[in-house]
Amino acid sequence: MSAAARTPDARNYLLLLVSQFLGALGDNAILAVIVGQLTLLQKSGQISLEDLRTRSAFYTSLLFVPYVMLAPLAGYLNDRHPKTAWLFGGNLLKLLGTAVCALSIGYGYVWQAPGYLIVGIGGTLYGPAKYGILPEILPREHLVRANGLVELLTLLAILFGAILGSVIVDRLPVGTCYGILLVLFSASMALNLAMRRTPSDPSVRLGRSLTEFLSHGAGLLRAPRLGRILIGTALFWVCGAGMKINFQAWGLDVLRLPDNTQIALLGLWLSVGVMIGSLWAGRRYRVGDLRASRRFGFEMAACILAIFLLGPLGIADFGRQVWGGVGPDGTPTVALVILPVVMAVLVGAGIAAGFFLIPLNAALQAESDPQKLGKTIAVQNLGDNLGMMLAGVIVLGCTRAGLSASQVFLVLAVLVTLVVAWLRIPAPERDSAESGT
């Protein structure tokens, strides 16, 4: 049945949305628990701010290693087996990784790294399935709105996962934190089991699939339109990961925030903006309409530049004098919930980012060869996660070069401006850009 004529599978779609939310909630909560312990160590004087920035960049980037190393395998598994099976399998590995992280309670902090790496492997297998299943259960004309809703729930999960993880690591024993995470991943996995099984393709073979993945990826990158779409989505995640990694040090150094919970609230306004942009883009743009992409990219860069300027212009210091208070350690803090300048800049950056990303995602899915969609999504995941690894390298390099947390935002703004200036996405061609791959 063609994508345009396909009858929506409302049951699988609903179960996917709820499962995706719970799984993404756990993904972000576990990182907040791991990195949040670094904040507690820095506040107690056991590590320096530079040590915190270095370790935070390392742990945040660690999640992306399996996405890069295992992307071809993930594409094969999602083409060969039902995507519902890998929604379940991905959550099962996340559950195992969380249990390994919990070993750190009795056997040392070193267990956090391998545990989080296993969580990343689970996410690697889950990622192509959660997006690749959409064209299998929904008609083509529903894809932009469906992508917007999936992205909205993912961003809600990122927001509330970061806040949940930060709140519990500030207030509860680490063992209890990991117990809560195990419950989240178990619930998401149970919902995957309740989904109707999607089709498999026994004709897909591993060796041939890996060769095709490399050829397919090269073909996508050579395609004038799809190649630039892939670079555009990767750029979004460079920005998102770079800002996420840098918020911790920026909140401590510039805003003098006292704990993980208030640092996590920095992401609130950014996520609210991305949610608004995602929903708005899903309603405003048809599949394949990318004419405004560069404009929103430049707006995203301008907002990131404005975040940088909050430090040099003394906006944060002004906020502390007018609205701030004193934290538990006696340092002045700024109440972000009533600091409209910070809120406006972060929300604006998020709206521009949502408008930038959602039409790109929908166009990639709609214009790709439906028989190779698993590989296409895996190639996209590879590019996106290479981008997020690059973000970690950028933050780490800026730290080693002696740049401040504020200056990291300046570097990101310049990078976005340069890439978007180059990113001229041509109109869609009649023939598939993937022909011959």
- What CATH fold (topology level) applies to the domain 12-422? Growth Hormone; Chain: A; (1.20.1250)
13-27, 50-64, 169-183, 282-296 — which is least confidently predicted? 282-296
Q: What is the pLDDT of residue 318?
A: 59
pLDDT at 25 over 90: yes
pLDDT at 324 over 70: no
Q: What is the pLDDT of residue 325?
A: 54
pLDDT at 180 over 90: yes
| 252-261 confidence digits (pLDDT tens) | 888 777 788 8
d(CA 224, CA 433): 8
pLDDT at 421 over 90: yes
| Between 395 and 141, residue with greater pLDDT | 395
| 88-136 confidence digits (pLDDT tens) | 999 999 999 999 999 988 888 789 899 999 999 998 888 878 877 887 8
Q: How confident is the model at residue 332 (pLDDT cuts 50, 70, 90)?
A: low
Q: What is the pLDDT of residue 154?
A: 82
Q: Rounded mean pLDDT of 11-35?
A: 93
Ranges of each domain in the chain: 12-422
pLDDT at 402 over 80: yes
